[in-house]
Amino acid sequence: MKNLFLIICLLILIFSCKKKEEVLSRETSQVSDIEGNIYKTVKIGDQWWMAENLNTKRYNDSSLINQFVLGQKDSLWKNTSEGIFYNVDSINGNLYNWLAVNSSKKIAPKGWHIPSDEEWKKLEKTIGMNDAELSKTAWRGSNQASLLMANASYGWASEVLKYVYGTDDFGFRALGSGCVVFDGSVNSTKTTAFWWTSSSQGKEAWYRYIDGQKNQVFRQHTYQTYGFSVRCVKD
């Protein structure tokens, strides 16, 4: 019995070391956008994802995306019929409305694109979400949020660390960048993270959401006038 216990412990140790080695040996690279901003990228499963939020102020034809600045009338965001963004900071990148995300001028770097709802599901499955939960709405999964959050929850408010502690097992490095609400107010910086997908649902669009107090990942669709972060996937 004692020998069996030692064998089990040894197998657990070997498996843990192997898993750690796999994480440490992840494939990484980089990509630049139309402005020359350089982003870290990481391979997760058979997908290449940006490991940082998009930060471009221009479409791929070099034309400027409308910029929203705090202090302006909130109605400028709410009533716009064009793409618009708000810059959180150089680390967290920009928050875009869906009109910018879906523009024919494109905001993703050349050779990359905005991930669809299905491509987000593929990522979630790769990091361990159960098949039965992938297509559900609201909170899904188990600990997938912590696996995506920046290591040691860097970039998140200190008060949320007692709920979720980021391990960044796959190099996605999710940051608490918050969002712009449809009325033009900026909300929940450093406690939440939102990302658009390229998939629409009527007059709304699908997105993903991580909350610093939840280990699960939220899936839903909402008004295209919200401002969310963007991660891109390689073609």
DSSP sequence for 140-186: ESSSHHHHHBPGGGTTS-GGGTTT-----TTS--B---BEE-TTS-E
Determine how β-strand 112-113 pairs with β-strand 233-234: antiparallel
pLDDT of residue 82: 94
The CA distance from 131 to 141, in Å, is 9
pLDDT of residue 21: 44
Residues in Cβ contact with 216 at an 8 Å cutoff, skipping those fewer than 6 apart: 139, 140, 141, 142, 144, 145
Would you write out the chain's pLDDT as a tens digit for each of its 235 residues? 555 444 544 444 444 444 444 445 789 999 999 999 999 999 999 999 999 999 999 999 999 999 998 766 677 888 899 999 999 999 999 999 999 999 999 999 999 999 999 999 999 999 999 999 999 999 999 999 999 999 999 999 998 888 999 999 999 999 999 999 988 888 878 999 999 999 999 999 999 999 999 999 999 999 999 999 999 999 9
pTM for the model stands at 0.88
Q: Could you tell me if 234 and 41 are in contact, meaning their C-beta atoms sit under 8 angstroms apart?
A: yes
pLDDT of residue 161: 87
pLDDT of residue 163: 92
pLDDT of residue 3: 55
pLDDT of residue 120: 98
Q: Could you tell me if 187 and 175 are in contact, meaning their C-beta atoms sit under 8 angstroms apart?
A: no
pLDDT of residue 132: 95
Question: Per DSSP, what are the bridge partners of residue 195?
Answer: 208, 229
pLDDT of residue 16: 47
